[in-house]
A and B are shown apart, each in its own frame.
Chain A
Amino acid sequence: MTRAADQTKHNALIARARRVLALVKKEVRQMVRDPSSIAMGIVLPVILILLFGYGLSLDVKNVKVAVVLENPSPDLTDLACGFQLSPYFDAQLLTSMPQAQQLMLNREVDGIILLQSDAARNLKMGDAQVQVVVNGTDANHARIVQGYAQGAIGQWTARRAAEGRSVNVGPVTVQDRLWFNEANDSHYFLVPGLIVLVMTLIGAFLTAMVMAREWERGTLEALFVTPVRVDEILLGKIIPYFAQGMVGLVLCLLAAKFLFHVPIRGSVWLLAGTSMLYLLVALSIGLVISSLTKSQFVASQITLLATFLPAMMLSGFLFDIRSMPTAVRLLTYAMPARYYVALLQTLFLAGDVWGVVLPNAAVLAGMAMALLLLARLVTQKKLA
């Protein structure tokens, strides 16, 4: 009796597996026939990888500045030379401030280092002023330029001090060390961020579009009259796009390692495991959105707004979450990308820090389960 029950159960299971397999096969065929979804899964990630790797950088080099010496003296010319030799600056020497201001107005320089006509005399007296004027439009850039200018002036004073001419910038100096990114290369955090964007794009955007198309064209209706169950339909969508996401991940990891030389200090398996969790989350968001909207246009808009842009702006990959106002900070807790960014940055640069990995991975796992359930709930085998 029980054996017979077991047997029917077993048969049912096999039948389910076959149905899912058939759906996956259909999906793969569709993917192959319509190159645009393959393109979205492969071409877009490649474009993003190249853009991020070669295009984006927050490192500041060769800033065009004007060094204004209103009254040149050997000491001050020495300082100006410091700016000209620095790799951070592309300095041109001027002798009048109005000239420099004109350059700044025309955006031909990003900053002015001004040594007024009395600077040489004051320096001998023991108290000189250097004015650093920057274009504040890009505040981040401006702040970095200020920092470098300060550094160049600091080096000059150190040089003078070594020559026995005492000049102090201050008794206390700051020795800074940047852990995990000693060379201060912005690619180290831009490339892990890129992976988040690619996974979001493939996971949420592609799935939402594909599923919404089925709703819009009525092909899902055709599926409803077959014996396939809703969870099987969902599985049939998840499996092929999950595979495509993993292809994207491998592409990104290879590019990170071999093209951009970003170190992977944590374990690759943890990296892959957590990425799978995030991919599941993204896929289920895509499924939920498409089932709720049932239209390609609306689905594409909502996915863009709900997943892609937050992944870029609210995930902490570019902008520091701690500095956001409380309401926005609370909102970031609802963004899966936030946890994935923390995981990737740590696994890439710091290593297997369990104190960071475990809580973040746990949240992603919880979100994946909740969202998959939600996707199952909102996808009903009936017409709206």
Chain B
Amino acid sequence: MFEAILRILALTRKELLTVLKDPRSRFSLLVPPVLQCLIFGYAASYDLNDVPYAALDQDRSAASRELLAGLDGSGVFHRVATLDSIESLKTCINNQRALLVIQIAQDFERRLQSDRPADIQVIADGRNSNTAGTAILYVGTVVDAFNAKWRSSHGQPGATIQIINRAWYNPNLETRWAMIPSLIGTLTMMQTLLLTAMSVAREREQGTFDQLLVTPFRPVEIMAGKALPCMLIGAVQATNVLLVAQLWFRIPLAGSFVTLYAGLILFLLAAVGIGLFISSIAATMQQATLYAFVLMMPFLLLSGLTTPISSMPRGVQYATLINPLRYAIEIAQRVYLEGAGLDRLIPDLWPMAVIAAVTLSAASWMFRHRLE
């Protein structure tokens, strides 16, 4: 037993040397995750803070000017053009000068003053319908504020319904609060999976795997010796991303680091298991990369990172159940935002343990199968 551990440690040391001795590969493992976390942390957000709009004010009244001033003063909208005809509206949107055009009809103020409902038209560039939809919601908020002010200053009759919006866990609805914790798992997985998938394939391609076979290593030991260094590197990467989240973006962590790392270790085990399984069936590095990629795409896209799982069709939602990244993201978000403890995370933890157990035993079977 003791000797087995020694052998595994020796292999681990050799693996780490193989990967880390080349300065380019060392660089590509340690620097990019941090850079990516910084860049994507800023970029990957559905929140809008700069919406160029154009105004087509056909009323030119005090009321319409007040409404537009509300938009200009919101800090989100900035006016790129003041239009005077419907024709110019079209080119303005087509050429992407403005994301939306606000059209206020001629009778706007008159209708308001005679207590009749007044409409404003918002025409949005739907080339990215999600961005456009969000921008329209923002317009709604500004209009609500205008309405409240108008009512209080003009003493409107009739009952009012006031809608009070509250968001749990993320009161200002900042995408970044959820995105950056999700990046811990995502960035770590992408490289760990490739690294593990290539580890055995590289030896096969270079012919050193045969040499490994004539050593006293048992297949399980070879597998452990391959898995351990990759998990170590993955843990270091995850820690780096975590540090960026904590120290640079200062995302509030409601839960505990212990919970986070417990989830992370299970996740790495699952990711490495998948990687080793790929490695056990691939003959060359190119094949290993290919298989890793074929799996990584669905993992990445069906993880809830960019689009919510609840919006996927039912069948695809079931498919996400075997995606370790889905659980890693859920755990990171829940620990960060909800402060969930291990007890509430059990539904996310056990599937990863199952994935790890299945892939690792499959990989070990494949090794034995191929070795003997």
A residues whose Cβ falls under 8 Å from a Cβ of B: 34, 36-37, 39-40, 43-44, 47-48, 51-52, 54-63, 104, 110, 123-144, 146-147, 149-150, 153, 157, 166-182, 184-186, 188-189, 201, 205, 209-210, 213, 293, 295-298, 300-302, 304-305, 309, 312-314, 316-320, 322-325, 327-328, 331-332, 342, 345-346, 349-350, 353, 355-356
Contact = CB atoms under 8 A, between A and B. Distances in A.
A172 B112 contact: yes
Contact of B25 (A174, A298, A316, A356): A298
Interface string B97-121: 0010000000000001001011111
B160 A143 contact: no
Nearest to B136: A176
B67 A172 contact: yes
Given A132-B165, A146-B165, A302-B28, A180 B126 contact: yes
Contacts, number: 345
A116 to B, nearest CB: 10
Contacts of A124: 159
Interface stretch (B213-221, B262-270, B302-310): B302-310
Interface stretch (B5-13, B88-96, B272-280): B88-96
Contacts of B312: 55-57
Contact of A177 (B121, B156, B334): B121
Interface stretch (B45-53, B231-239, B358-366): B45-53
Interface of B is mostly: helix
Contact of B289 (A209, A320, A353, A356): A209
A263 B350 CA distance: 44
Contacts of A39: 290, 294
Top 4 nearest A-B pairs by Cβ distance? A136-B170, A170-B147, A181-B126, A136-B167
Contacts of A61: 311
A174 B294 contact: no
Contacts of A345: 127-128
A322 B140 contact: no
Contact of B146 (A36, A172, A176, A309): A172
B151 A171 contact: yes
Contacts of A318: 44, 130, 306
B162 A128 contact: yes
Interface in B165-184: 165-171, 173-175, 177-178
11 contacts: A56-B306, A104-B168, A127-B162, A131-B166, A132-B166, A133-B167, A137-B338, A167-B158, A171-B156, A213-B286, A300-B194
B95 A168 contact: no
Interface string B25-62: 10011001000100110111111111110000000000
Given A36-B286, A305-B36, A349-B126, A293 B165 contact: no
Contacts of A179: 93, 123-126
Contact of B168 (A135, A297, A350): A135
Contact of B143 (A170, A298, A322): A170
Given A167-B161, A174-B139, A293-B24, A137 B119 contact: no
A241 to B, nearest CB: 14
A46 to B, nearest CB: 10
A185 B169 contact: no
A327 B38 CA distance: 11
B164 A132 contact: yes
A317 B185 CA distance: 22
Interface size, B (range): 35 or more
A325 B49 CA distance: 9
A331 B25 CA distance: 24
A201 B337 CA distance: 34
- Of B22, B134, B290, most buried by chain A (CB within 10 Å of CB) is B290
Nearest to B302: A55
B69 interface: no
A139 B47 contact: yes
Contact of B133 (A54, A62, A147): A147
B307 A58 contact: yes
B297 interface: yes
A171 B122 CA distance: 16
Given A52-B301, A328-B43, 12 more contacts: A57-B312, A59-B311, A104-B168, A137-B334, A139-B46, A139-B167, A144-B133, A173-B118, A179-B125, A186-B130, A312-B306, A322-B50
A171 B123 contact: no
Given A313-B40, A318-B306, A177 B122 contact: yes
Nearest to A122: B159
A150 B140 contact: yes
B118 A143 contact: no
Contacts of A129: 161-164
A344 B326 CA distance: 30
A300 B292 CA distance: 11
